[in-house]
Structures are given as structure tokens and as C-alpha cells.
Structure 1
Amino acid sequence: MNYLNKPLDTGKLLLKNRLIMPPMATAKSGIDGRISKDILDYYDEKSRGGYISLIIIEHSFVSQQGKASNNQVSIAQESMVEDLKKLAEIIHKNGCKTIMQINHAGSAANVEVTGMEIVGPSAVPNPFGTGMPPKELQKNEIKTIVNEFKEAALRVKNAGFDGVEIHSAHGYLLNQFLSPITNKRQDEYGGDITGRIKIHRDIVKNVREAVGESFPIFMRLGASDYMDGGLTIEDSKLAAQQLEKTGVDVLDISGGLCRYTIPGVNEEGYFTPLSKAIKEVVSIPVIVTGGIIHAKTADEILSRGEADLIGVGRAIYKDSDWARNAMK
């Protein structure tokens, strides 16, 4: 394991090796999104031994309207910070770094969960939503959402985490802006890729203002939809370059509207063509996830320079000793 064991200094975060546990929804929080004993126990077990360099906490909602599912973690109120501190402390005590992923579900939300109107960039049904077209967001509402991400990121910092990850993959709101399938806007938030990532850049600028220069900002980027008329890797390469310029420190590459799999593709590391293409055009570190279940595969991806960091999700979810065995 020559490559997996190598440390990585992002400039703002020193990681002892290249293994990351990516965000995976556990549905273990309280109904109000509070951190439960179940969640504390789960992350305690996964981080024990300190074999994983970085644990990215499952997506947390930035507002009630952006809540994706019942028992999802909340970062929507100040009152969540004290409980979140306990989560950061447990993971740190076990010898791992940890960041939180913040998210707005947009048209992937459900009225039965949020009790609120479903919104999106355009009145286009989400391929994975309820089939109902969302209400198109007005510009003032977009500004409100930008501010919700900013406030959520500051809460993440105040809770003692080592960074924040902005979620723009898997068919959620920022991914909906990114994809030409779900973004049909005629204003500055639509059109070509520059318009479709305006909200991303606005969020990054605002988050940076709130958390300061030294706090790491990651972005999970759904770099291709693998759908007709959807987001292509060519557009994502341009987006990645813009996001790096705007202040993103690490890009975490996954799927877009196809979510976390590619239809009909099962081999390990199926998103590596995306991470490799992105890595060729940016100078910041790139994470790849996607069906990686063997340490040898992770090492080979790193050795070929297709990514800088490897996210192993389902394998660690199923086997808490995976990281220890991989590192030994």
C-alpha cells in the first residue's frame, strides 16, 4: 500500500493518509435532525483506531425547505451546534479528521417531509423526486439559500469540525442548477456552465467570508449526469476550474443526476474517468468514490494519478475493520 498510506497536505488540512470515509446517510438522527446517541456510536465505531484520515459526515440540511428525508441531520439552527461538538470530539479523540457536508434538497425534497413548497432552479420535475414540478426559485429566494449555506458553514466551524463540504451531486439543489436537464433558467443563474454555477460561486464566496481564509471548503461535484442532454464532463472541467479560482480547496467527484452509480456499470472505481479528467485541469486535491471495495484498487487509482484521495463508502459501512485491514 505505497500510495494509500502517503500523507497529503492540502495547505489547510494535513491528512495522514489517502483514505476517506465519504458521506453516507444513516437516517439515525432525531426527528428534528438532532445528533442522537445512535449517530455518536456509529461514527465512534467507524473512526476507532484512527485508520481513516478524514470522515465526511452525512449530508445535513441547511433549512427545513431543503430537508431531504426524515431523520436527516440538521445544521439549520444555532441550537444544533452543541450536540455537533460532541460528534466532532468523538472522531477527533479516535485520531481522525472530520468535516461536515451541508445540503439543500431542492426538487428532491418531499412535502410530507418538509411541510413546505418544493423549489428548484426551474419548474422541471426531478428525475428522482415525486414527479411534481417544483416552483422556480426567484432571485431573492436564491440569495436566501446562499445565506443559509453561509450560516450553516459557520455552524460547522463553530462545532469544531476541520472543514465543510458543499453538496452539489446526486440530484440535490446545487446539482439541479448544474445540470441542463433541471436548469432551464433564462437569467444569470442559467444558460451556459458559467451561469449554471453562479449559485455555487456565490455560496463559496459567502462561506469563505464567514469561515475565514484558513478553514477548508470542499465541494462534492456531480461531474456527469450520464443522461441524454445532461451535464457532461467537458462542462464540469470548466466548472472545476472556476470553483478552484473562487476558493474551493478540494473537489470530491461523484455522479450528478445519475446519483452515486452509473447505469449498467459495476466495476470498482467507476467514477475515476471523471476524477482523472478533473485532476488534469485543476491544481487542488481531488477525491474519487464509487464502488471501491479493495485496498489494492484504491492504491492503483492513486498510483495512476487518477485521484489524490480515495473515498470508500459501502465497504466501510458494511465492515468497520475495513480501514484497519487496508492500512495493515
Structure 2
Amino acid sequence: MIAAVSLSLETPLAIGRATIRNRLVMAPMQQYKGTPEGLATEHHIQHYGRRAKGIGLMIVESTAVSDNGRLWPNDIGIYSERHVEKLKRVTDAVHAGQTPIYVQLSHGGRKSAPEVTSRLIAPSAIPYDAAYGMPAELTVSEIETMVEHYRLAAKRSLAAGFDGIEVHAAHGFLIHQFLSPLSNRRNDPYGGTPLARTKFLRDVLAAIRSETGSGYPVMIRVSSTDYAVGGLTPRELALMLQPLEAEGLIDAVDVSSGGLLPVEPADVHPGYQLPDAAIIKQHLRVPVIAVGGIRTRSLADRILRHGLADAVAIGRPLLEDPDYGLKMLNSVQ
């Protein structure tokens, strides 16, 4: 049983060598407002700047590391130098609210938007569904090129003024596809065993670290379960992450779920992903962030007080009300 500890939303939290002022995180939520070239717009500046008050950390929406890996046609990206200036205006707006902002680096793999994807790719030639179609299995040299895309994206993230990086390894996108045995059937160094299935993620993180150094916060977002027999489970995933933690490649884990297959959780209720976050936290030392229907101060404080997670993230409430974070922090416990 996890013992209760004296924590609340106001308690500061260390992520890497940085400390955020409280434990309320704005989760990454797509805006569908990028230009056809993947550039951020005035909408992003206003949207993120308006929501920066009060929260401890902001994570921007999925930001593509390759023009061939955008999740939606109107995604934003960071796959060229042209993207940096526009993203710098976003980070400046958030910093005006004294809030740190992380970029979420992503590649869709077999779930990249068909409208803007010239060649669908994946660790194995297994389709997500008929609408996306059959992906091509990545060669080792293509995987190495993909790792380089992440390195360059990290370099641009620093230039754009981001305070940290979240690597998107959840929701059925490329890195998640490598992690799960349901989508990775390789028998080379990138598949075949749980450790081998983490190699692509490890290489990506190492490449990012080559640009950021060890003190800069780097975290990952994971799907704790594939909601399918034979897929990832919270405990298996946590054990896969332990070597990455030991190498100093990750500073925190943001726990979501699903997305690898076109299936939905049977029951979505307040805190429905929390048990998985708690299991992962039992196996790791780095901070674990819980997300999923956490809308009240009382629930958030119970999560922290009982040590089920180290921080909580909210998404849709902040889309509906830009001041929701401040209201949640100022509400009666």
C-alpha cells in the first residue's frame, strides 16, 4: 500500500534540474490551426499565452519532427528552420505568464495523416486500419534517419525557447508502434524482446540528449495499455522504461493510454487512467504525471497525497475555460 504524503497542488516539483512552481500541468491538446506548411499561427500565440497563468507547466500540442509524420494535415511542426521563429513567439507569450513550456515531439508512423503523407511507415508492415492503409516497414538506415530528425527537432526546440521536451511515445504513434509487440514484429535490434523494442526510443532520447545535455528536462508520454490481449501493460511498460531511467535519458513520465488499435476503454470516468499511473510510479523514481478526467482540486490533491502520481495534467477543461487552472488552484480543498 502506498503511504500518504504531505503534498498538494501547490507543492513545487523537480523535473530534471528544473523546478516547476506547482504540480498542475496543461496536457497537450491539438488545436488544428497550423498552416499547410506546419507553421504555428497567431491562434497558438493567443491560445497558449492566455492559459499560462497559474499552472506549473504547459505542454504544447503534438509537433511533428518530419513533414511526413504529421498526425493531422493542420498539425504544427518543427522539421525546418522556418518553424522556429513562429514557435518562439508562442514560448515568449507563455513565458510572459512566468510559466515554463515544453514542446511535444512526435511522428505518426502508420497513423500519419494520409492527406499529407507521401509514404506511410512503421516498424512492421501492419496497418492500423483500412483508412490509413498498409505502412512500409522501416529499414535500419531509415530508422537512423528518423532518429536524426528527432535530434534536429531538439536543436530547434532549444532555439525556439522551449524549457523542456516531451517525446510522444503514446496513442499509437511511431514510438508506441515500436514499443508494443502488437505492432512491432521485427527480429533485428529494434524488436523481438521488450528491451529491443525500446531501442528506437532509447536512440531518440540519446540523440535529443546530445543536443540538450543532461540537465535539460526531457520526459516521455506513454500509453500504459493497448486495451488488447498481448499488448502492453503498465507493469511491462514500467520495466521497459527502467533502463532508460537508469541511463538518465528520462526525467518524467506522462501516463496516458490506448491509441495503438481502433478500440476504446470500456469505462471512462474521473481518473480512469490513474491506476496505471500508480503502477508505473511503483517501478520508477522519476516523477509520474497522471491525466484523464481529473477536473477537481479534491481529486488532484488526493492523488498527490496518497502518492499515486507526482503531478496531474488537465486538458479539455482548459480548452473550455482558459482560467480553469487558476480556478482549480484557488478552489477549496
Q: Give the TM-score normalised by structure 2.
A: 0.93
Alpha-carbon distance, 1:324 to partner: 1.2
1:39 CA displacement: 1.1
Tell me whether 244-253 or 260-269 shows the greater mean CA deviation: 260-269
* Structure 2, gaps ≥5 residues long: 1-5
1:113 paired to 2:116: yes
**Among 49, 61, 65, which residue is 1:62 paired with?**
65
1:199 has 2:200 as partner: yes
Say whether the 8 Å CA contact 2:226–2:259 is kept in structure 1: yes
Q: For 2:131 and 2:18, locate their aligned partners in 1 and report how far apart those are by CA, in whole Å.
A: 39
Q: C-alpha distance in 1, partners of 2:146/2:171?
A: 18
Answer yes or no: is the 8 Å Cα contact 2:110–2:132 preserved in 1.
no
| CA deviation after TM superposition for structure 1 residue 234, in Å | 2.5
- Aligned residue number for residue 164 of structure 1: 165
- Superimposed CA distance per residue, residues 171-221 of structure 1 (whole angstroms, 9 cap, x where no aligned partner): 100001111111111111111210111000011111101111221111111
Q: What's the counterpart of residue 290 of structure 1?
A: 292
Range moving further from structure 2, 255-264 or 14-23: 255-264
Summarize the alignment of residues 1-328 of structure 1 with structure 2, pairs less than 5 Å apart. Answer: 3-47=8-52, 50-114=53-117, 116-127=118-129, 130-246=131-247, 247-257=249-259, 263-328=265-330
Q: Does structure 2 retain, via aligned residues, the 8 Å contact 1:177–1:190?
A: yes
Higher RCO (CA-CA < 8 Å; seq separation 6+): 2
Distance in 2 between the 1:296 and 1:225 partners? 29
Q: Is the 8 A contact 1:261 1:290 kept in 2?
A: no
Number of aligned positions between the proteins? 324
Q: Is the 8 A contact 1:110 1:130 kept in 2?
A: no
Q: Aligned equivalents of 1:318 and 1:103: distance in 2?
A: 25
**CA deviation profile, 1:29-87 (whole Å, cap 9, x unmatched):** 2121111011111112211xx21110001011101111111110110001211111111
CA contact (8 A) 2:227 2:263 kept: no
The one-letter code of the counterpart of 2:98 is G
Quote how far apart the aligned CAs of 1:262 are: 5.2
Letter in 2 for 1:176: Q
The RMSD of aligned alpha carbons is: 1.7
User: How far 1:257 sits from its partner (Å)?
Assistant: 2.9
Amino acid paired to 2:150: F
Contact map agreement 2:104 2:166 (CA 8 A) in 1 = yes
**Is contact 2:128–2:262 with CA below 8 Å preserved after alignment?**
no
Per mean C-alpha deviation after superposition, the further-off stretch among 197-206 and 223-232 is 223-232
CA distance in structure 2 between the partners assigned to 1:170 and 1:317 by the alignment: 20
Contact 1:66-1:106 at 8 Å conserved across structures: yes
How many angstroms apart in 2 are the aligned matches of 1:87 and 1:259? 33
Secondary structure of 2:153's partner?
Answer: helix
Counting aligned pairs with the same residue, the percent is 35
Corresponding residue number in structure 1 for 2:3 = none
Residue 111 of structure 1 deviates from its aligned partner by 3.1
The structural deviation recorded for 1:289 is: 0.7
Amino acid in structure 1 at the alignment position of 2:178: F
Is the alpha carbon distance of 1:244 and 1:259 closer, same or farther for their aligned partners in structure 2, counting shifts above 3 Å? farther
Distance in 1, Cα, partners of 2:181 & 2:262: 19
Quick one: distance in 1 between partners of 2:100 and 2:251? 16
Deviation for aligned residue 1:88? 0.6
Deviation of 1:243 after TM superposition, in Å, equals: 2.0
Distance 1:174 1:145 in 2: 11
How far the C-alpha of 1:275 sits from its partner, in A, is 1.0
Residues 261 and 244 (structure 1), Cα distance of their counterparts in 2 relative to 1, 3 Å cut: farther
Distance in 2 of aligned mates of 1:271 and 1:12: 28
Question: Equivalents in 2 of 1:231, 1:256: separation in Å?
Answer: 9
What amino acid is the match of 1:58? Answer: E
Give SS of 1:221's match.
Answer: strand
Distance 1:258 1:174, change over 3 A: closer
Deviation at 1:2, TM superposition (A): 5.9
| TM-score, normalisation: structure 1 | 0.95
Between 103-112 and 55-64, the greater mean CA deviation after superposition: 103-112
Q: Is the 8 A contact 1:220 1:252 kept in 2?
A: yes
